[in-house]
């Protein structure tokens, strides 16, 4: 698990590998021991991050392995960007939109790519208005950007919180230029094709109806409330992307102790990549 990178364009390609991947997850603690001794190499910059710079919070390493503001899943995104675009200089030539602004990942990307466009989302705040200093509000279901504004859109753990995900995907496709890319992470239902619906908003009352136990994730803008999980996307997400106007899409599985990309249930991190 020094460095592996696989790309899947359909659930049928990934499904047969699930038992083996679940078994390989048992090697992740040994990889952590190596990282604690050697450190990691930051994607894009190729800079050595020493063990002293790392904060490792077990047992869900996908959400930990913290260094320079980035988690394991954030570095997986950087590796996909490196694979697709070829390096930091090329990335700096892109018009990029990241759908977050105050996270460590956003701040690190801002350092690497100063011209990046950032935003946060607060329900009820008009698009384009400030929500935190000079950080503006953007709703992925109704983006306040012109058609074909960006070469690259990045989202990290956002799709599960969107009420109408197909609408948001269509909006992302709208603001991307021909050939532009979406690169994203979200909790993906590993072993099934269909999306798991967790909550929905009632049209008449506007209230959120939970289908089972309410599920919330941490939200830096609303730490006491958290963000409602509306769905856990399945592999039908690839079909939704096609319907939204993307001409190709894939899920990357990346495992790399060298770059500090390790998972929990499976050895690595899954990253969605779609091209307009």
Quick one: tokens of 80?
Answer: 């996909």
Average pLDDT of the chain? 93
Q: What is the pLDDT of residues 27-78, one digit of tens each?
A: 999 999 999 999 999 999 999 999 999 998 778 999 989 999 999 999 999 9
| Arithmetic mean of pLDDT, 253-257 | 97
| Arithmetic mean of pLDDT, 215-225 | 76
Quick one: tokens of 223?
Answer: 């730490």
Q: What is the pLDDT of residues 84-127, one digit of tens each?
A: 998 999 999 999 999 999 999 999 999 999 999 999 887 766 66
Identify the CATH assignment for 4-197+232-275 out of 1.25.50.10, 3.40.50.300, 3.40.50.150, 3.10.580.10: 3.40.50.150
Q: What is the pLDDT of residue 215?
A: 83
Q: Residue 216: pLDDT band by 50, 70, 90 thresholds?
A: confident
Of 214, 238, 237, 240, nearest to 227 (Cα)? 214
Q: For residue 165, what are the CA distances in angstroms to 59, 169, 176?
A: 30, 6, 17
User: Does the global pTM surpass 0.85?
Assistant: yes
| Arithmetic mean of pLDDT, 130-150 | 87
Q: Residue 132: pLDDT band by 50, 70, 90 thresholds?
A: low
Q: Residue 129: pLDDT band by 50, 70, 90 thresholds?
A: low
Q: What is the pLDDT of residue 125?
A: 67
CB 118 within 8 A of CB 131: no
Does residue 258 carry a pLDDT above 70?
yes
| Arithmetic mean of pLDDT, 200-225 | 84
110-114, long-range: CB < 8 A, 24+ apart: 112/44, 112/45, 112/88, 113/88
CA distance 26 to 103: 30
Pairing mode, if any, of strands 96-98 and 150-156? parallel
């Amino acid at each position: 698990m020094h460095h592996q990178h696989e790309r899947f364009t359909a659930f049928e390609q990934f499904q047969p590998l699930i038992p083996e991947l679940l078994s390989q997850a048992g090697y992740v603690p040994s990889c952590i021991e190596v990282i604690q001794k050697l450190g990691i190499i930051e994607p894009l910059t190729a800079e050595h991050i020493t063990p002293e710079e790392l904060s490792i919070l077990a047992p869900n390493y996908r959400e930990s392995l913290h260094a320079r503001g980035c988690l394991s899943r954030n570095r997986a995104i950087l590796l996909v960007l490196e694979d697709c675009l070829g390096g930091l200089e090329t990335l700096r030539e892109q018009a990029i939109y990241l759908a977050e602004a105050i996270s460590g990942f956003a701040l690190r990307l801002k350092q690497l790519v100063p011209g990046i466009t950032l935003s946060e989302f607060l329900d009820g705040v008009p698009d384009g208005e400030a929500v935190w200093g000079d950080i503006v509000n953007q709703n992925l279901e109704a983006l306040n950007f012109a058609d074909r504004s960006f070469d690259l859109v990045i989202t990290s753990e956002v799709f599960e919180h969107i009420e109408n995900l197909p609408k948001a995907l269509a909006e992302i496709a709208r603001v991307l230029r021909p050939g532009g890319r979406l690169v994203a992470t979200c909790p993906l239902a590993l072993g099934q094709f269909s999306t798991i619906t967790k909550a929905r908003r009632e049209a008449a009352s506007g209230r959120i109806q939970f289908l089972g136990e309410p599920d919330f994730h941490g939200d830096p803008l609303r730490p006491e409330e958290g963000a409602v999980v509306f769905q856990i996307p399945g592999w039908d997400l690839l079909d939704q992307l096609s319907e939204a106007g993307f001409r190709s899409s894939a899920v990357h599985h990346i495992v790399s102790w060298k770059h500090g990309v390790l998972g929990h249930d499976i050895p690595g991190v899954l990253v969605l990549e779609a091209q307009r």
